[in-house]
Structure 1
Amino acid sequence: MEKYKLTLDDNNSKYIQIYNYIKQLIVENKIEEHEKLPPIRKFADFIGVNNATIVKVYELLEKEGYVYKIIGSGTFASSLNIKKKSEIKLNKDVVHFESGNPSSDLFPLNNFKQAINMALEEDGASIFEYDEGNGSEELREELCSYLKNKKIHTRKENIQIISGAQQGIDIVCKGLINYSDVVFVEEPTYNGALEVFKGRGAKIISIPMLDDGIDIGILKLKLEKIKPKMIYVMPNFQNPTGISYSTYKKKKLIELSEQYDFYILEDDFISDFTFDSKDNRPLKSYDKNNRVIYIKSFSKILMPGLRIGIVDIPMELQAKILWAKYSSDISTPGLIQKSMYYYMKCFNWEEYLKSIDEIYTKKYRHTKVLLEEKLGDKLKIRDSVGGLNFFIELPRGCSSQSFYNFILEKGVCITPGTCFFDNIMDDRFFRINIANTNMEDIKRGITIIENNLEEFITTYENGKYIRSNKIFY
């Protein structure tokens, strides 16, 4: 406990002082990766503060990614801290299956550069003024046409331009979710959304995913006892599993939202592409009752650094969400909005989407075949019909956090499943994402996993990753 000893300044916030001190210990590796932090009561007594202060410190550390919690076991230093991530990115020999951003080779730089010039020439200095409304009217009209092709019939008045899907989730929550409101989520799900819900003080209830979408049976059982304010879903090529909802489940979810009076927050990041799906229509396209709040991100299909997306909002919620957007950043930059408009209008947007569809579909099918050939008899691979994510299950009793460390040393970076669960009870899942990798690296990475899997399982079963007061997860 000696390394946790610190002198507190009574003139400054105690929990911030403790937070900064623990964070520094983790960054400097004085608290090693996966080392267990002191229990809350013991730590509080040791440095002379109340238990609530340490609870607040651990919650902030978890939110920032420096620690993770295992129910019934305690709080542990994360393997995914900032220092580690920067070291990984500098190593060009590592196969990166952890990044969800598209490869920069796909960026339409020349055409978008022309679109930027057109925006500057046509709109002049006005492009740098604040836009206090829903966003560029021209862009919203163009987006209505784009959404019409996806069978979403909306009006420009319903569309809010946002600075990426993460902001969309955030402003919807600011507008709708109050402390202790209930939010249902898929299990597993996107960790960025989980953090937003937790930040609003929401009570999160996870509903398991089946191969054709959310488990409707369990969802109905929960709805009979608990009334959620909202359910957050990714109906097409879900992150992290790659699962797509059947048409029946899409329609059933909307039916239940009307019956039990809740909203559906749909996060659509890649339904533009069919892959091998029989129904890649957004949930919103089936919505007749204005129950679906639809977020569309362009980060996976264009350039993530643009930070642009849309929210299609039922009219009765417009005022709340518009104010939440304004309070976040007033407006998405006009230059980005107008450049996006000219790019969609003048540079054959549909042809561009078709070209990306072909590239992603080839990568998806190539990866699926390799995974089945090389790992299918050793690991359980979650069935999917498309997307950029594959969710893989290690043998029962193994830990994805341990596998992350082990396989990184061999030259492959994956994402441990702990990132995608609200309460992780059995950490044996991991995700690989193929957005940023080429065909050769996909094959090389999967081959490395194949060649080293037996060594990991044998080493793990022999107890290498469990010693003294450390538990490796």
Structure 2
Amino acid sequence: MHIELKRGSSTKLYMQIALTIADRIRSGLIEPGTRLPSVRKMTADLGVSLVTVTKAYAELEAIQLVRCSQGKGCYVRGTEPSDQMSREAAAHSKMSTSDSGVSLNWQMTLVDYLPRAQLWRHFDASPQVRYELHMSAIQPELLPTRDIINSAYHLSSDHAERMAAYGSFQGDWELRQTFATHFASRGLQVTPERMLITSGAQQGIDLVARTFIGPGDVVYMEAPTYTGAIDVFTSRGAKIITVPMDNEGMRIDLLTRLCDTYPPKLIYTIPTYHNPTGVTMSTQRRAQLLNIAQSYHCLILEDDPFADLYFREPPPASIKSMDSAGHVVYIKSFSKVLSPGCRVACAIADGSVLTRLVAAKSTADLGSPLLTQKALQAYIQEQYDTYVHQLREELYSRLCVASEVLEQYATNEMQWRLPEGGLNLWLELQGNMDMHELHRQSLAAGVSFLPGSACYVAESDTTSLRICFTVTSSEALKQGLRILCTVIERVSSQQAGATADRLPLI
């Protein structure tokens, strides 16, 4: 396995090794039961001392990710219930064998460069889950899927010649014109020439990272933040520094102090209906953040998936709308709001930054699929504003349902703040709640949530979680939240009882 060691870092080498392996285990890239490389092999591969690797493995054992045995080596521990472990073990055994019965274990010798991949691990729920509250999405029945399918059908049948040629690397011109009109009505003046169509916001983030971020470059992010962005910047070998938030967003005062010591290459932010917390950055802080970028000649990557989903008043103007010197790359996703399967987003940038992003896009996939661009273009141009107005009302009703259930069933350990828009609720649990046990029992009860640890770099042991109140029906949301509150209360009681049973220290 490839481990990028930063020998000049303030983080000790053994901790760098332990953190990298821990990320891979938690991401599912190293499966339960896998034997880690021997201490001697890891020592030779990394060019470090035996003591360093021994201390790294001891750290992994201390946080209960591996089990080490003298003479037998270190093995990754399972974290699921025994019956689930049996199913996973059987699946792993099947995956480790080809269709002809030949062992595929030799593949473990192939070096890969994925230090972390939390996004895919938390994307799909377990089969036993009935109430899927972990996914930040809109209930499929609320989306205009049939209208978009009809649009795609007519385009492909009536204009077959359009499908017989490659589209522009930069994206369909008509779609970019439509986006320009859309953004203008929201206070962002931009021309089609300054846009790049990407296959969802995730590709936009990845293009920015692959183009501008290399090993050791400093990237600032909110803490917590979007799991998929952490995965992307970690894979580039960036030095990620996280900045705490309050009810106005990223703490600019702390960011300013940190930048004096660690000048930024890029600042990643979700200023509007932040994922996962739902917090919206104030106008003043948006301007302050832009001033920092101008002072340090760095980029801001402004990720904006939810700005159209406000419940009362529109959110503050985007940071990009204040940007006159090309410091902001603005990414607006339309996938979640219209059709997750279409994977369409728009990146707005200026000057050579845009040129380099288009070049990166061309080498990635030769341009996004033309059919989905054309299908969405017609819908956005003719029906989007009416549709999204109705959608906001429906999503707000789901938030009210979630609020009522939590007010009635939440325990004293639970705290939350209702967002002004978006899809997510961030719940914080007081005390020393065992989140791994809570997650296990919640899944067993049929309710999924996103553990807050997945939204932090290096998986902070935070007692928080994210639920999506828009992904299911109102009735299913009620039932799922009631069950979740019951499980939280049970786990809390179990922990309190276990603490009471302990003998006092003398």
What's the TM-score once normalised by structure 2's chain length?
Answer: 0.76
Answer yes or no: is the 8 Å Cα contact 2:138–2:423 preserved in 1: no
- Please give the secondary structure, in 2, of the residue aligned with 1:265: strand
Answer yes or no: is the 8 Å Cα contact 2:411–2:485 preserved in 1: no
Query: Taking structure 1 as reference, are residues 128 and 200 closer, same or farther at Cα in structure 2, changes over 3 Å only?
Result: farther
Name which of 213, 228, 232 aligns with 2:264.
228
Answer yes or no: is the 8 Å Cα contact 2:199–2:345 preserved in 1: yes
- Please give the secondary structure, in 2, of the residue aligned with 1:443: helix
1:410 alignment partner in structure 2: 445
**Whole-angstrom distance in 2 between the partners of 1:331 and 1:310:** 13
State the AA in 2 paired with 1:328: A
Answer yes or no: is the 8 Å Cα contact 1:394–1:400 preserved in 2: no
State the AA in 2 paired with 1:164: G
Q: Deviations over 1:70-104 (max 9, x none)?
A: 89847465759997979945336x21111122222
Query: Taking structure 1 as reference, are residues 187 and 87 closer, same or farther at Cα in structure 2, changes over 3 Å only?
Result: closer
Answer yes or no: is the 8 Å Cα contact 2:272–2:279 preserved in 1: yes
Query: Taking structure 1 as reference, are residues 396 and 330 closer, same or farther at Cα in structure 2, changes over 3 Å only?
Result: same
**Whole-angstrom distance in 2 between the partners of 1:254 and 1:340:** 32
**Whole-angstrom distance in 2 between the partners of 1:21 and 1:450:** 29
2:410 alignment partner in structure 1: 375
Answer yes or no: is the 8 Å Cα contact 1:228–1:262 preserved in 2: yes
Shift of 1:288: 3.3
2:184 alignment partner in structure 1: 148
Q: Deviations over 1:227-253 (max 9, x none)?
A: 111100001111111111112112221
1:162 alignment partner in structure 2: 198
Length, aligned pairs only:
421
Answer yes or no: is the 8 Å Cα contact 2:169–2:361 preserved in 1: no
**Whole-angstrom distance in 1 between the partners of 2:267 and 2:438:** 32
**Whole-angstrom distance in 1 between the partners of 2:78 and 2:255:** 32
Name which of 314, 326, 333 aligns with 1:297.
333
Alignment of 1:90 with 2:84, yes or no, is no
- Please give the secondary structure, in 2, of the residue aligned with 1:204: strand
Query: Taking structure 1 as reference, are residues 48 and 165 closer, same or farther at Cα in structure 2, changes over 3 Å only?
Result: closer
Segment drifting more, 447-456 vs 224-233: 447-456
Matches within 5 A, 1:115-134: 115-134=151-170
1:52 alignment partner in structure 2: 46
**Whole-angstrom distance in 1 between the partners of 2:303 and 2:379:** 23
Alignment of 1:454 with 2:489, yes or no, is yes
Alignment of 1:423 with 2:458, yes or no, is yes
1:353 alignment partner in structure 2: 388
1:436 alignment partner in structure 2: 471
- Please give the secondary structure, in 1, of the residue aligned with 2:336: coil
**Whole-angstrom distance in 2 between the partners of 1:87 and 1:322:** 31
**Whole-angstrom distance in 2 between the partners of 1:151 and 1:173:** 27
1:310 alignment partner in structure 2: 346
- Please give the secondary structure, in 2, of the residue aligned with 1:266: strand
State the AA in 2 paired with 1:152: L
Segment drifting more, 207-216 vs 269-278: 269-278
Query: Taking structure 1 as reference, are residues 90 and 53 closer, same or farther at Cα in structure 2, changes over 3 Å only?
Result: farther
- Please give the secondary structure, in 1, of the residue aligned with 2:338: coil
**Whole-angstrom distance in 2 between the partners of 1:72 and 1:314:** 49
Q: Deviations over 1:160-213 (max 9, x none)?
A: 011011100001111111221111000001111111101111110000111110
**Whole-angstrom distance in 2 between the partners of 1:212 and 1:396:** 25
1:57 alignment partner in structure 2: none
Q: Deviations over 1:378-425 (max 9, x none)?
A: 312245333211111222222322211012222211111111000334
**Whole-angstrom distance in 1 between the partners of 2:391 and 2:322:** 26
Query: Taking structure 1 as reference, are residues 264 and 22 closer, same or farther at Cα in structure 2, changes over 3 Å only?
Result: closer
Shift of 1:48: 7.5
Query: Taking structure 1 as reference, are residues 261 and 87 closer, same or farther at Cα in structure 2, changes over 3 Å only?
Result: closer
State the AA in 1 paired with 2:128: N
**Whole-angstrom distance in 2 between the partners of 1:277 and 1:79:** 44
Answer yes or no: is the 8 Å Cα contact 2:218–2:240 preserved in 1: yes
Matches within 5 A, 1:102-251: 102-251=138-287
Q: Deviations over 1:343-389 (max 9, x none)?
A: 2234x221111121111111123213332332263312245333211
- Please give the secondary structure, in 2, of the residue aligned with 1:436: coil
5+ residue gaps, structure 1, are 1-19, 32-36, 55-68, 465-473
Answer yes or no: is the 8 Å Cα contact 1:182–1:204 preserved in 2: yes
**Whole-angstrom distance in 1 between the partners of 2:436 and 2:317:** 35
**Whole-angstrom distance in 2 between the partners of 1:306 and 1:341:** 12
Answer yes or no: is the 8 Å Cα contact 1:141–1:156 preserved in 2: yes
Shift of 1:144: 0.3
Matches within 5 A, 1:275-354: 275-276=311-312, 279-346=315-382, 348-354=383-389
**Whole-angstrom distance in 2 between the partners of 1:294 and 1:310:** 8
1:263 alignment partner in structure 2: 299
Name which of 341, 353, 362 aligns with 2:397.
362
State the AA in 2 paired with 1:457: S
Shift of 1:113: 2.3
**Whole-angstrom distance in 2 between the partners of 1:432 and 1:91:** 18
What's the TM-score once normalised by structure 1's chain length?
Answer: 0.81
State the AA in 1 paired with 2:410: L
Segment drifting more, 78-87 vs 357-366: 78-87
